[in-house]
Amino acid sequence: MTTIIVTGGAGFIGSAVIRHLIRHSDHTVINLDKLTYAGNLESLREVDHDPRYNFEQEDICNPLALQRVFREHQPDIVMHLAAESHVDRSIDGPTAFIQTNIIGTYSLLEAARHYWRDLPGDEQVSFRFHHISTDEVYGDLGDSASLFTESTPYAPSSPYSASKASADHLVRAWHRTYGLPVVVTNCSNNYGPYQFPEKLIPLMILSALEGKPLPVYGRGDQIRDWLFVDDHARALSLVAEEGVVGETYNIGGHNEVQNIEVVRGICDLLEDLAPEMPEGVEHYRDLITFVQDRPGHDRRYAIDASKIEADLGWVPEESFETGLRKTVQWYLENRAWCERVQRGSYRRERLGAGA
């Protein structure tokens, strides 16, 4: 039986990974999460009482806490997802991104290195440190027709992407210098159930249902490659178990869509799935409002996922159309979860419980 530490397991992608591992494997999973504003244990209710699931509320920047977690749980794999990830927040306040994404990754690498170094021979050979990153480290494809490959030079544009690029470099350096067995993945934009409402798709869904303006940066012509979160979770599990040490795998959804088309698609689905409009709204599309573009906004991201498809046999199961419909339907059926997140009551209650 394999023991896997998932850092940031109470976040959007991390919780999807944990749900996938508990549903589809016999692994033991340790959720290591500080529980910042975006960490929500309600996203893990379905696995909360499973004997193979354990939660550790710790900060990856705390070396002593990391040493204890490694010593007590004896992991075979570390899947590192803990990160500050919202670009707008990184522009307004980059300090937390430097601390978590760079210092936190360094602290985790050191804890993993010292733990791995003392493992018996067979366990040392089989140990893996899987670092989960983003396509934003590659910068802006602009108006070109090219795709991000695993060898695309790094050219981050925001404090967020620069901090993730720094973390990627640290991970590869720990492999080259110390021999730590690492794999790295870089993924495109994720969407799906349980995503924090500050991100584009849930923000648009929930704002439309309340009859609020749907703010779109610039002309909304920025292009992103959209990946359904459950497809990403499958890919991450596969790479963690079967990926080749030292290799990088790009993970994309084969779904390049302009931001404005994403918002229009949400509006059209809501017309079908939630036809009772808020008061004063005749069509959801009427709520779309163009606002001043954010600084350094990249024009286009697009992933070439041919390597993971050829080497590991992974392909996404959801098209953008099927995934977006599932996502809108989920938010309509889980308004109570959304309201608790928007009010922040999920944080107050866990603090009141001594978490």
**Domain boundaries, given as residue ranges, for the chain:** 3-192+226-254+299-319
Residue-wise pLDDT for 99-142, tens only, equals 999 999 999 999 999 999 999 999 999 999 999 999 999 999 98
* CA 19 – CA 176 distance, rounded (Å): 33
Q: How confident is the model over 313-330, as a mean pLDDT?
A: 97
Query: Residue 346 — very low, low, confident or very high, per pLDDT cuts 50/70/90?
Result: low
Collapsing DSSP states into helix, strand and coil, what is residue 253?
coil
Enter the DSSP assignment of 231: H
Nearest CA among 274, 256, 40 for reference residue 144: 256
Residue 347: its pLDDT value, please? 59
Neighbouring-strand partners of residue 228: 191
Using the CB atoms, write b or e for 213-224: b if 16+ within 10 Å. ebbbbeebebbb
Enter the DSSP assignment of 104: I
Between 345 and 88, name the one with better pLDDT: 88
* CA 331 – CA 108 distance, rounded (Å): 34
Q: How confident is the model over 276-282, as a mean pLDDT?
A: 91
CA 319 and chain centroid, separation: 18
Residue 197: its pLDDT value, please? 86
What is the assigned CATH class of domain 3-192+226-254+299-319?
alpha beta
In this structure, of 67-71, 149-153, 332-336, 345-349, the range with the lowest mean pLDDT score is 345-349
- With beta carbons less than 8 A apart as the criterion, state whether 258 and 268 touch: no
Q: How confident is the model over 12-29, as a mean pLDDT?
A: 98
Q: Known catalytic residues? A: 135-136, 160
Residue 351: its pLDDT value, please? 37
Residue 85: its pLDDT value, please? 86
pTM, two decimals, is: 0.94
Residue-wise pLDDT for 87-103, tens only, equals 889 999 999 999 999 99
Query: Residue 345 — very low, low, confident or very high, per pLDDT cuts 50/70/90?
Result: low
Nearest CA among 18, 19, 31, 28 for reference residue 76: 28
* Percent above pLDDT 90 for the chain: 87
Q: How confident is the model over 294-306, as a mean pLDDT?
A: 93
